[in-house]
Amino acid sequence: MLNKVAEENWFYILEHDDETDDYFLDVVCGTVAVFTIKIMLTEREVEAYKADATSIQTLAYSISDRPSEFLERRV
């Protein structure tokens, strides 16, 4: 079951799967056409988040600014 961990309206939602211990980041992208990209965080990204929660915002900005670079990681 996915549980919402953090959220910034119209920007991103961070979710945690209690069964698998995976984290997922769903980011709003686009300007005229709005869409989302949802990725599973890597181990390194999870460690960065646990050390500094603001790292998720930085990652979300990266996804929003360059969504094409994260397309292969979509879930």
* 30 torsion bin: left (phi>0), alpha (psi -120 to 50), beta (else): left
The Cα diameter of the chain in Å comes to 37
Q: pLDDT digit string (tens) for 24-73?
A: 999 999 988 999 999 999 999 999 999 999 999 999 999 999 999 999 99
pTM for the model stands at 0.93
C-alpha distances in Å from residue 70, one per residue of 17, 24, 30, 63: 21, 13, 14, 7
Average of pLDDT values for 15-25? 97
